[in-house]
């Protein structure tokens, strides 16, 4: 099948969620506004996640996977997903399914006019501490990047693949995807999406990851912005 859109699903110790992930993403492929496939990226899980992923991919032709030798973190998993994507469009969703796959259709409505479309979680169903730390971290990031995004941590995005593959990812930079697309002179927009409480499994980010870590990453972003190489070819030999 000639797929147009790949959904990257980073997975780290999510064995309790994967049956629901399979069900909901399989259902989404039947209602997706463009032909869609799924790419699991197993980030060195220590539970039965890989075993379950392999079984899922064997029984669903639109599902594929790659697996890391060891845990490398969310940014590495997202980058690997981008690297292994062969479709025109790429997106990602977390395997905890706190966002809804059907909301990809909301984002896809805008991708012809933009190079990255990100969700912004409306009525977040997280704890007060998590919500406040994310709000503070987003405010700090906006002050550094001027990307205008309210919720770059939202795990629901659609990107034109050629832009995604040019993002020089490093640890923590998954929070800066809109800013990195803007460095390429790309256009970004945020669209409200649904948000749900986590049903199974455990969160992989604590206060450090949500607040202090992103602050340090802002300085890494500023360094990269200063050193970033951007060019446009307007003519080549035929």
Which residue is associated with the tokens 């923590």?
A: 172
Of the candidates 50, 188, 36, the one whose C-alpha atom is nearest the C-alpha of residue 118 is 188
What local confidence, expressed as pLDDT, does residue 191 receive? 94
pLDDT for the residue numbered 235: 86
Strands 36-42 and 5-11: parallel
199 burial via Cβ count (<10 Å: 0-12, 13-18, 19+): exposed
User: Per-10-residue mean pLDDT for the chain, 238 residues long?
Assistant: 95 95 97 98 96 97 97 93 97 93 97 96 61 62 68 88 89 83 92 79 55 71 77 83
Question: How many angstroms separate the first and last alpha carbons of the chain?
Answer: 31
Tokens of 196: 């749900």
What are 203's strand-pairing partners?
none
CATH topology of domain 5-227: Spore Coat Polysaccharide Biosynthesis Protein SpsA; Chain A (3.90.550)
Domain ranges of the chain: 5-227
- Residues 128, 29: Cα–Cα separation, whole Å: 34
| CA 89 – CA 188 distance, rounded (Å) | 14
Q: How many C-beta atoms lie closer than 10 Å to residue 168's C-beta?
A: 12
Q: How do beta strands 188-193 and 116-121 pair? A: parallel
Are 186 and 116 a contacting pair, CB within 8 Å? yes
State the residue for tokens 């309210």. 150
- Distance between CA 28 and CA 158 in Å, rounded? 15
In DSSP terms, 158 is beta-bridged to: 91, 117
pLDDT at 4: 98
List, in order, residues 6 or more apart from 108 with CB less than 8 Å away.
Answer: 5, 32, 33, 34, 89, 117, 158
| Predicted local confidence at residue 204, as pLDDT | 53
Instruction: Find the largest Cα–Cα distance for the chain.
Output: 59
Distance separating alpha carbons of residues 194 and 162, to the nearest angstrom:
27
**Alpha helical stretches, state H, the chain:** 18-31, 49-59, 74-84, 104-108, 128-145, 161-165, 177-183, 207, 213-227
List 93's β-bridge partners, or say none.
156
């Amino acid at each position: 099948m000639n797929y147009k859109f790949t959904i990257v699903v980073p997975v780290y110790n999510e064995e309790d969620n994967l049956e629901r992930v399979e069900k909901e993403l399989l259902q989404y492929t039947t209602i997706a506004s463009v032909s869609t496939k799924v790419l699991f990226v197993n980030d060195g899980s220590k539970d039965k996640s890989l075993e379950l992923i392999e079984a899922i991919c064997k029984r669903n032709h639109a599902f594929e996977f790659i697996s890391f030798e060891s845990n490398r973190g969310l940014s590495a998993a997202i980058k690997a997903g981008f690297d292994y994507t062969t479709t025109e469009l790429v997106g990602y969703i977390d395997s905890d399914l706190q966002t809804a796959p059907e909301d990809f259709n909301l984002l896809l409505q805008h991708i012809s006019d933009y190079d990255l479309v990100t969700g912004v979680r409306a009525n977040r169903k997280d704890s007060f501490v998590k919500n406040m730390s994310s709000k503070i971290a987003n405010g700090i990031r906006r002050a550094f990047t001027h990307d205008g995004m309210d919720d770059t941590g939202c795990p629901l995005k659609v990107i034109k693949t050629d832009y995604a593959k040019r993002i020089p990812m490093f640890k923590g930079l998954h929070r800066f995807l809109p800013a990195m697309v803007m460095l390429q002179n790309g256009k970004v927009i945020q669209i409200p999406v649904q948000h749900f409480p986590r049903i199974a499994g455990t969160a992989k980010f604590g206060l450090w990851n949500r607040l202090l870590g992103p602050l340090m990453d802002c300085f890494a972003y500023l360094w990269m912005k200063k050193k970033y190489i951007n060019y446009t070819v307007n003519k080549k030999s035929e």
